[in-house]
Structure 1
Amino acid sequence: MSIWHEELEIALWPVEDQPLGSSGLTFAISNLLSRVEVYHQCRVGYVKDRRTQMETMPHCWIELPDGWCIDLTLRRWLDDDDAIPHGVFRFSDHPRVCYHGSPLQVPDLDDETLEAMTDGIHTSIRLPPMIDRAA
């Protein structure tokens, strides 16, 4: 995991305990990422655990460039097991689960809505800006 991905995951820890489902967290995190101009794609679909054959649907997550993902709710639905991905991770590091989905259009949320969704925690979250790889 790069330093940037690590900083991103640490910055998102406060929102993982919010009583939001995968869509609510995806909406909130997407808006926070957009504010610091981090390129990402929100997705909606399902995730399947290849070992147990369990699925969660509908499920939302965020894809980052180069095969990285943000998913803070999958363990709630499949299994609270270290083999199930959680946080910021590369899809390729977790072959046990299979993500299938389509792009999800996320609305721009104002500060009032983000405050309500995150119980005001959003104001203390400082996401790292995307690293310019060309530099």
Structure 2
Amino acid sequence: MSDWHDELELALLPLKDLRVDSVYMTFVISNALNERGIFHQCRIGYAEDLLSRMTTAPHCWVELEQGWCIDLRLRQWLGDEDDLPHGVFQPSDYPRARYQGTALLVPRLDVGDLKVMTSDAYSKVKLPWSAGQAAAA
């Protein structure tokens, strides 16, 4: 994982203990990424554990450039096992899991609403600048 992806994962830690579904979590993460101007695409579909054959649907996650993904909810539904993805990851590093989905349009939410929705955990999320943004700054 690159230093930037490590920083991104650490910045999202305040959200990991929220007891919310993947749709809600994806809305929160997408709004945080939009605040920093970080390109991403939200997805809705399903995720499957190819070992146990368990599936969670609907399931939402965030895709970043170069194939990176963000998912803080999969283990909540399929089991807290190290070979299932969690956080910021490359799907190819987790062959046990399969994602299938389509684009999800996420509404832009007011920062105040996001803080209330997350019991103020949103205010603790301090995303890093992307490499392109840091070079321009």
User: Partner letter of residue 14 of structure 1?
Assistant: P
**CA separation in 2, counterparts of 1:114 and 1:36?**
15
Q: Are the counterparts in 2 of residues 33 and 127 from structure 1 also a CA contact under 8 Å?
A: yes
Aligned counterpart, 1:94: 94
**Which shifted more, 56-65 or 109-118?**
109-118
Runs of 4 or more off by more than 2 Å in structure 1?
Answer: none
Identity %: 50
Cα displacement (A) at 1:124: 2.1
Q: What's 1:26 paired with?
A: 26
Partner of 1:65: 65
Shift of 1:112: 2.4
2: CA distance between counterparts of 1:125 and 1:85? Answer: 21
Name the CA distance, whole Å, in 2 between partners of 1:122 and 1:79: 25
Once the two structures are superposed, residues 95-128 of structure 1 have per-residue CA deviations (whole angstroms, 9 ceiling, x without a partner) of: 1110000000000000222012111121221101
Counterparts of 1:10 and 1:41 in 2: how far apart (Å)? Answer: 20
Distance in 1 of aligned mates of 2:120 and 2:76? 23
* Structure 1 position 43, deviation (Å): 0.2
Cα distance in 2 between the residues matched to 1:120 and 1:78: 27
Shift of 1:129: 1.5
SS at match of 2:53: coil
Structure 1 residue 65, shift from structure 2 partner: 0.6
**Runs of 5+ unmatched residues, structure 2:** none
2:14 matches 1:4: no
RMSD across aligned positions (CA): 1.2
1:86 is matched by which residue type in structure 2? H
**Does the residue aligned with 1:18 lie in a helix, a strand or coil?**
coil
Separation in 2 of the partners of 1:55 and 1:125? 30
- Report the TM-score, using the length of structure 1 for normalisation: 0.96
Letter in 2 for 1:41: Q
Bigger Cα displacement from structure 2, 117-126 vs 38-47 = 117-126
Deviations for 1:35-83, whole angstroms, at most 9, x for unmatched residues? 0010000000000111111100000000001110000010010111101
